[in-house]
């Protein structure tokens, strides 16, 4: 938003008649005056918005909103403030929030003395260190990461005789050709070749190889199941081997998901008669099989991007295949921009893009009209039934009750949630007009009645169970693939099906699940054919649309929904919500049924709903936060972030890019010129979100690494705490034993540590079962910890002496500080479109932690006023304490910077500063509270004196101060004062008295009665103008004047 001052609209503005409706109807709207005001706004280049606090404008907001919209302006009402702007307005503006509370922090005098003692000793030692180690504190611009030059240069190759190398490669190529011919001529090889020859892709082999040889870039489109994923890489490798160039041929084939990279590599290795890890290998996060003889590597897109950090020109790579480009993942779109630039420097490099849909022209035009070719697919006919067809043929009836998905104890809650009058969900809102216009008169009255009460918010567990049972009992053999939304829905449906007599019978049904986080063993179950007489049912997410092919699928059930990440750049919020899929996704799902024989597809939504679907899914780069992407752009030295992203296939909106850059500046990863800082350089090489990488670095610097490794790994994987629908209370009780101190993050640490202890006795699985923990998640956390630790060692932040890295791992206060340091500015997260605020994976932290480890702090408008995040957070402390926080923060930031520059530097030499910090972050040492600005009117509350104001022992009202105060207020025409008493941790009481919107606090006392009397005495002093400052103000006179005005 423009930084220019807003134009305030109030009663004094010329051209706006506040009394325009006098003598007329009270509902009259001064449209001509507002038109004039809005025209002035449009014509004034220096003004960005109109702001009005007038009550009548709030009353007329609907008319103002309509008028502004017609004039191309945006409007929003924030509580009692109406804003009209040239730019879109967010849902919340903290600068217009009159009810936003501020934070008042009080530190005990004893604590301040202790902290001051450490700081004085630290300052003495600091001056000595400056003399000996001035370079730690006076870094040059180059040291501070002012430019991107010299980052991640590729390792130097060993010098060797070129002739010797060429001879070796020639011999290796000849050997590879002989091995390939031997396999192809063997009985098993001929059998495999016979199968491959039946695939549509194999029939295009020569055309594909010819097109690759003639073009640097080739786009291949082919329907799912045509064989392009397994065959095209083999065509290239086989051709190069036959031409005695196998040893110098190196192919990388990227897949958007790890399950696809693993399964495809296994299949290709099998078809080549090899063990996985020889000529063909794979590499995904935490797992891989490859060797020095691997010439065809299947990997996730992220793995290739990591390689680009060390080798920007991909030396030695001859072919890059990017598969499933139609999915438009954020990594894939980013990779295409990088590869487009790389092709100009590597004319011999071949790029093959493969898509399962017919959108090749989009990619062709992006790569300067690159060649395209289509592999004609073959699928058996698939009979399609939409919801109305299912109901008409089967006679199944829908009622408001039998559509509710059974999530166990949550059933009643979900029923109540859908009662009339409740707010409609995003799924329902999107179909309102479609369903209103739908005509179901061609169907029977029973079907029409069912469709009229169809609820789009539900998947339809009961209907799915009915269809599955009908297929198992009456249809021909063949596996069933059920597309669900996410893991929770899959798990809930599985539990429901296991209660059915037919579907739970292992002699008749094999029930398996397919989702993105399953391990390799689970994955293999999906592809195994069941025994005779047993029908396989696969419950899957949208991962089964294109990433994997299950050959024996004959029946498909499609719920029409998937979880999709979305990012609102205006409000800077992201969420993962169920949404309707695209038409292309529907076609992909339907096509899974016709792989081996004619199939059946059941869509659990009406045809009119399908007709309303978008053609393609919105690319991830347009609906995801861009922080990690921006870091990669800077690490690869690709120039300006905004300019680079403007060259993407579909560039993200400018505001989303600006938000990402501002976030990276806020956390200290980028400087003001958008160059990587020393912190940013380290974050780049950590394969995780920047906030988690920052938390990990804190754990290294402050020697509490072990618990932080667990927290970061736990936030990277699926939540390890399980909540079965039928045992929700027991599961919550089990989790509470780990999270008894207001921290979900520390709960992960305790759960993992206890699991590790049980693993020593080979009782880990039993421990997980008793405590409702996921053993798979625990094992992934363990593997990620190893990976993260290895990366920290590689970049030099951790040495072999691990004991020093965990010297303070026991310190829960320091761990909370690490959590705050990493997750800031995520002070809290708000789930949108609900009536309540939910906090997930949260940790309560004291004020000092936020002040020392949150965002940068600046001095506010008055002494003792500190601002953070441009004023979003505000703190009030005593002026000397404010200076103390700012000084400590400055030295703390420099210490972190120096540790990152010189990893071998021991922070224990700064123990005085660290002891002072630790004293401050122990939350039971401090007292803080939220207050309104009216509670901070008294200057005496911000002084350094221990007493709030100086007073006589009995105060202005003597021993009867409460009665005197009430009498004074009653005579002035006000109601009786109201007292609130709070018990402090030192067994003392502090009272606050409130009247006419003013709140005044007294000193602590040993009992409630004296505390209330002291608060009343303080209020009397304030009212009668007995002040310790330079100016006496009779506040009672001011209140009387206001009262007189109110009566008038």
* pLDDT tens-digit series, residues 783-825: 899 999 988 988 888 887 677 788 889 999 999 999 999 999 8
Spell out a b/e string for 247-280, using b for 16 or more CB atoms within 10 Å of the CB, else e: bebbbbbbbbbbbbbbbbbbbbbebbbbebbbbb
Residue 186 pLDDT exceeds 80: yes
Rounded mean pLDDT, 175-191: 94
CATH of domain 382-607: 3.40.50.300
Spell out a b/e string for 546-574, using b for 16 or more CB atoms within 10 Å of the CB, else e: bbbbbebbbbbbbbbbbbbebbbbbebbe
Residue 226 pLDDT exceeds 90: no
| Measured distance CA(366)–CA(647) in Å, rounded | 10
pLDDT of residue 804: 78
pLDDT of residue 467: 95
Using a pLDDT cut of 90, give the percent of the chain over it.
44
384 band by pLDDT with thresholds 50, 70 and 90: very high
The 3-state secondary structure of 339-402, one letter per residue: HHHHHHHCCCCEEEEEECCCCHHHHHHHCCCCEEEEECCCCCCEEEECHHHHHHHHCCCCCCCC
Indicate the pairing of strand 371-375 with strand 81-85.
Answer: unpaired
pLDDT of residue 160: 55
> In this predicted model, what pLDDT tens digit does every residue of 509-534 receive, in sequence order?
999 988 876 666 667 778 888 888 89
439 band by pLDDT with thresholds 50, 70 and 90: confident
Rounded mean pLDDT, 274-292: 91
The alpha carbon of residue 718 and the mean position of all alpha carbons in its chain are separated, in whole angstroms, by: 13
pLDDT of residue 138: 39
Residue 470 pLDDT exceeds 50: yes
**Domain assignments of the chain as residue spans, ordered by start:** 7-96, 169-375, 382-607, 680-840, 934-1047
CATH of domain 934-1047: 3.30.160.20
553 band by pLDDT with thresholds 50, 70 and 90: very high
| Measured distance CA(670)–CA(654) in Å, rounded | 18
The alpha carbon of residue 831 and the mean position of all alpha carbons in its chain are separated, in whole angstroms, by: 12
- If one compares 579 and 801, the residue with the highest pLDDT of the two is 579
21-25, 266-270, 402-406, range with the lowest pLDDT: 21-25
| Measured distance CA(913)–CA(911) in Å, rounded | 5
Distances (CA, A) of 56 to 11, 19, 792, 1047: 10, 10, 61, 21
pLDDT of residue 304: 95
- If one compares 120 and 152, the residue with the highest pLDDT of the two is 120
State yes or no: cis peptide before 868, omega within 30 of 0.
Answer: no
Residue 158 pLDDT exceeds 60: no
Instruction: Report yes or no: 669 and 632 within 8 Å, Cβ to Cβ.
Output: no
Rounded mean pLDDT, 763-774: 91
pLDDT of residue 528: 83
3-class SS at 252? strand
**Listing from the earlier edge strand, what are the strands of the sheet with 927-931?**
857-859, 865-868, 873-876, 102-106, 927-931
pLDDT of residue 267: 94
Rounded mean pLDDT, 726-733: 79
pLDDT of residue 164: 83
> In this predicted model, what pLDDT tens digit does every residue of 303-362 receive, in sequence order?
999 899 888 899 999 999 999 898 888 999 999 999 999 999 999 999 999 988 767 888
| Domain 169-375 superfamily per CATH | P-loop containing nucleotide triphosphate hydrolases (3.40.50.300)
pLDDT of residue 105: 86
Kind and range of the H or E run holding 845: none
Of 234, 319, 226, nearest to 273 (Cα)? 234
Establish whether domains 382-607 and 934-1047 are of one fold: no
Residue 611 pLDDT exceeds 70: yes
Residue 898, φ and ψ in degrees, nearest 5: -65, -40
| Measured distance CA(628)–CA(689) in Å, rounded | 6
- If one compares 150 and 196, the residue with the highest pLDDT of the two is 196
Number of neighbouring beta carbons within 10 Å of residue 155:
7
3-class SS at 47? coil
Of 489, 431, 401, 430, nearest to 606 (Cα)? 431
CA atoms within 13 A on the CB side of 770: 10
> In this predicted model, what pLDDT tens digit does every residue of 695-706 receive, in sequence order?
999 999 998 999
140-154, 391-405, 563-577, 1008-1022, range with the lowest pLDDT: 140-154
Distances (CA, A) of 508 to 483, 538, 539, 553, 600: 21, 14, 16, 16, 20
Cα radius of gyration rounded to whole Å, the chain:
34
- If one compares 737 and 154, the residue with the highest pLDDT of the two is 737
pLDDT of residue 433: 79
What's the mean per-residue pLDDT of the chain?
Answer: 82
pLDDT of residue 973: 63
Q: Output the CA torsion 870→872→875→880 (10° steps).
A: 0
899-903, 935-939, 949-953, range with the lowest pLDDT: 949-953
Of 1038, 1023, 850, nearest to 949 (Cα)? 1023
Instruction: Report yes or no: 288 and 303 within 8 Å, Cβ to Cβ.
Output: no
3-class SS at 989? strand
Distances (CA, A) of 464 to 383, 556, 562, 579, 684: 17, 11, 16, 19, 46
């Amino acid at each position: 938003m423009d930084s220019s001052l807003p134009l305030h609209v109030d009663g004094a503005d010329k051209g706006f008649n506040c009394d325009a409706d006098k003598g007329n109807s009270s509902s009259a709207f001064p449209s001509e005056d507002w038109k004039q005001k809005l025209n002035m706004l449009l014509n004034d280049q220096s003004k960005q918005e109109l702001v009005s606090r007038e009550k009548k404008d709030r009353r007329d907001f609907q008319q103002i909103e309509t008028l502004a919209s017609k004039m191309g302006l945006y409007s929003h009402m924030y509580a009692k403030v109406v804003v009209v702007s040239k730019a879109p307005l967010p849902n919340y503006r903290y600068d217009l929030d009159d009810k936003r509370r501020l934070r008042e922090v009080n530190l005990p005098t004893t604590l301040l003395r202790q902290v001051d003692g450490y700081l004085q000793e630290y300052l003495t030692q600091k001056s000595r260190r400056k003399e000996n180690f001035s370079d730690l504190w006076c870094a040059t611009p180059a040291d501070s990461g002012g430019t991107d030059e010299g980052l991640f240069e590729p390792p130097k190759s060993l010098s060797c005789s070129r002739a010797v190398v060429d001879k070796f490669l020639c011999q290796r190529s000849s050997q590879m050709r002989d091995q390939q011919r031997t396999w192809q001529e063997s009985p098993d090889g001929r059998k495999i070749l016979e199968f491959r020859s039946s695939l549509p892709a194999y029939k295009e082999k020569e055309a594909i190889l010819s097109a690759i040889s003639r073009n640097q870039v080739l786009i291949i489109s082919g329907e799912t199941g045509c064989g392009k994923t397994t065959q095209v890489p083999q065509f290239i490798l086989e051709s190069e081997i036959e031409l005695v160039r196998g040893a110098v041929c190196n192919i990388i084939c990227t897949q958007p998901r790890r399950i696809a990279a693993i399964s495809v590599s296994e299949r290709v290795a099998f078809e080549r008669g090899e063990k996985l890890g020889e000529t063909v290998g794979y590499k995904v996060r935490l797992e891989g099989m490859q060797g020095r003889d691997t010439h065809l590597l299947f990997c996730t897109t992220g793995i290739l991007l990591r390689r680009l950090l060390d080798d920007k020109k991909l030396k030695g790579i001859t072919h890059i295949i990017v598969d499933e480009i139609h999915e438009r993942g954020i990594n894939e779109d980013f990779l295409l921009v990088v590869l487009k630039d790389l092709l100009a420097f590597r004319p011999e490099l071949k790029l093959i893009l493969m898509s399962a849909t017919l959108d090749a022209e989009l990619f062709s035009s992006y790569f300067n009209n690159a060649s395209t070719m289509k592999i004609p697919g073959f699928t058996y006919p698939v009979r399609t039934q939409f919801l109305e067809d299912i109901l008409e043929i089967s006679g199944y009836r829908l009622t408001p009750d039998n559509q509710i998905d059974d999530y166990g104890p949550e059933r009643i809650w979900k029923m109540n949630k859908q009662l009339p009058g409740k707010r409609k969900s995003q799924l329902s809102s999107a179909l309102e007009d479609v369903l209103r216009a739908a005509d179901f008169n061609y169907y029977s009255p029973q079907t029409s009645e069912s469709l009229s009460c169809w609820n789009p918010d539900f998947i339809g567990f009961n209907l799915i169970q009915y269809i599955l049972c009908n297929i198992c009992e009456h249809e021909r053999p063949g596996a069933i693939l059920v597309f669900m939304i996410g893991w929770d829905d899959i798990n809930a449906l599985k539990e429901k099906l296991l209660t059915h007599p037919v579907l739970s019978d292992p002699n008749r049904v094999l029930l398996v699940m397919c989702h993105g986080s399953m391990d390799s063993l689970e994955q293999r179950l999906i592809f195994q054919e069941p025994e005779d007489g047993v029908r396989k049912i696969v419950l899957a997410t949208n991962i089964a649309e294109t990433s994997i092919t299950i050959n024996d699928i004959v029946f498909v059930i499609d719920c029409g929904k998937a979880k999709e990440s979305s990012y609102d750049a205006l409000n800077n919020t992201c969420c993962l919500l169920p949404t309707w899929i695209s038409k292309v996704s529907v076609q992909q799902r339907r096509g899974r049924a016709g792989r081996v024989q004619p199939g059946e597809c059941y869509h659990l939504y009406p045809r009119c709903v399908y007709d309303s679907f978008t053609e393609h899914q919105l690319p991830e780069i347009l609906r995801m936060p861009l922080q990690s992407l921006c870091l990669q752009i800077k690490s690869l030295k690709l120039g300006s972030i905004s300019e680079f992203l403007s060259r993407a296939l579909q560039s993200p909106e400018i505001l989303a890019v600006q938000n990402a850059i501002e976030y990276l500046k806020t956390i200290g990863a980028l400087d003001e010129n958008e160059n990587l800082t020393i912190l940013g350089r380290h974050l780049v090489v950590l394969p995780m979100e920047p906030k988690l990488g920052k938390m990990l670095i804190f754990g290294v610097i402050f020697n509490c690494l072990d618990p932080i490794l667990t927290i970061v790994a736990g936030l990277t994987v699926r939540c390890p705490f399980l909540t079965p629908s039928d045992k929700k209370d027991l599961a919550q009780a089990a989790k509470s034993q780990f999270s008894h101190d207001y921290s979900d993050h520390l709960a992960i640490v305790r759960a993992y540590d206890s699991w590790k202890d049980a693993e020593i006795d080979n009782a880990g699985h039993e421990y997980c079962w008793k405590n409702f923990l996921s053993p798979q998640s625990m094992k992934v956390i363990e593997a990620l910890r190893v990976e993260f630790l290895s990366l920290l060692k590689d970049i030099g932040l951790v040495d072999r002496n691990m004991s020093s890295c965990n010297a303070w791992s026991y310190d829960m206060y320091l761990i909370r500080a690490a959590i705050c340091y990493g997750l800031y500015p995520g002070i809290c997260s708000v789930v949108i479109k609900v009536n309540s605020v939910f906090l997930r994976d949260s940790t309560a932290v004291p004020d000092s932690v936020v002040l020392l480890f949150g965002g940068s702090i600046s001095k506010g408008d008055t002494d003792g006023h500190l601002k953070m995040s441009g004023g979003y957070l505000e703190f009030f402390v005593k002026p000397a304490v404010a200076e103390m926080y700012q000084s400590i923060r400055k030295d703390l930031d420099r210490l972190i910077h120096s540790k990152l520059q010189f990893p071998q530097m021991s922070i224990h030499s700064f123990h005085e500063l660290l002891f002072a910090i630790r004293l401050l972050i122990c939350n039971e040492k401090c007292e803080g509270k939220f207050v309104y600005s009216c509670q901070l009117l008294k200057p005496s509350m911000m002084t350094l004196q221990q007493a709030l104001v100086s007073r006589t022992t009995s105060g202005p009202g003597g021993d009867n101060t409460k009665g005197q105060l009430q009498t004074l207020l009653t005579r002035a025409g006000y109601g009786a004062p109201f007292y609130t008493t709070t018990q402090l941790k030192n067994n003392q009481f502090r009272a606050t008295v409130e009247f006419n919107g003013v709140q005044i606090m007294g000193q602590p006392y040993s009992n409630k009665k004296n505390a209330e009397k002291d608060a009343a005495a303080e209020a009397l002093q304030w009212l009668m103008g007995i002040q310790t400052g330079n100016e006496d103000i009779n506040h009672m006179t001011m209140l009387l004047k206001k009262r007189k005005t109110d009566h008038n």
